[in-house]
Structure 1
């Protein structure tokens, strides 16, 4: 973890590069540091996934309005300062990415950050984390 999932109306896809947005958001997440200068998120655990909605209804139904919903889910234990700093950095990246699109049409964009305090199971299988752990 962290996992950032993006749901969006497919009508915006021809007008923006969603793969570039994913990479940019992942880079933004990886760059985050806490109050002590320690990386907030592990490189090997950082995932950004984007999905166009197969079915949607936005605003008045005219078909002229797009929507992008971003949800970052992270493990518990980070401070409110870190939550805000991560949120601000991600919103800035999202704003920069969508600025050309927002100049041409109406699109709603929402970013929410959730923490997983009540996790009852967290199973993991894989070999990504060792690739990015520092060797002493």
Structure 2
């Protein structure tokens, strides 16, 4: 599973706290029992060219996409999505007190396709992970 965060570049690094957010999302994904640790990855991209609503440069946006493989029930996907959004919403909640915020989330199930990858991450994880 992959978490992909897109955000407006007007958010300071202390507010973003990406490593904290990613660690919490990874813990959340692992706690569902649906995603193996070796397959959980996160990345973020700052958007430099954007416009929101009336063009106020103080407005911010963050959009989180969770990409998952197929094979989970609708109920499992729903519970996982709700848990991910709760973590994400809590992380950025303080921003709503001081500026315009557009917070969005989607979870996409990847269609089975021809896919190739090589992964030895499990060889470098802490024992028992």
Same fold (TM over 0.5): yes
TM-score interval (norm. to shorter): 0.7 to 0.9
Structure 2 regions of 5+ residues with no counterpart?
none
Matched, 1:129 2:128: no
- The residue aligned with 1:106 is 100
Alpha-carbon distance between aligned partners in 1 of 2:71 and 2:12, rounded to the nearest angstrom: 35
- The residue aligned with 1:116 is 110
Q: Secondary structure at the match of 2:53?
A: coil
Matched, 1:43 2:43: no
Q: Secondary structure at the match of 2:56?
A: coil
Question: In the TM superposition, what is the alpha-carbon distance from 1:15 to its structure 2 partner?
Answer: 5.0
Instruction: State the aligned residue count.
Output: 127
Question: In the TM superposition, what is the alpha-carbon distance from 1:49 to its structure 2 partner?
Answer: 1.1
Structure 1 regions of 5+ residues with no counterpart?
33-38
**Aligned CA distance change for structure 1 residues 40 and 12 (closer, same or farther; 3 Å):** same
Matched, 1:95 2:95: no
> Do 1:76 and 1:115's aligned partners in 2 also have CA atoms closer than 8 Å?
yes
Moved more, 47-56 or 64-73: 47-56
Alpha-carbon distance between aligned partners in 2 of 1:131 and 1:31, rounded to the nearest angstrom: 20
Question: In the TM superposition, what is the alpha-carbon distance from 1:105 to its structure 2 partner?
Answer: 1.2
Structure-1-length-normalised TM-score: 0.84
Alpha-carbon distance between aligned partners in 2 of 1:48 and 1:83, rounded to the nearest angstrom: 18
Runs of 4+ in 1 over 2 A off after TM superposition: 129-132
Alpha-carbon distance between aligned partners in 2 of 1:65 and 1:115, rounded to the nearest angstrom: 30
- The residue aligned with 1:36 is none
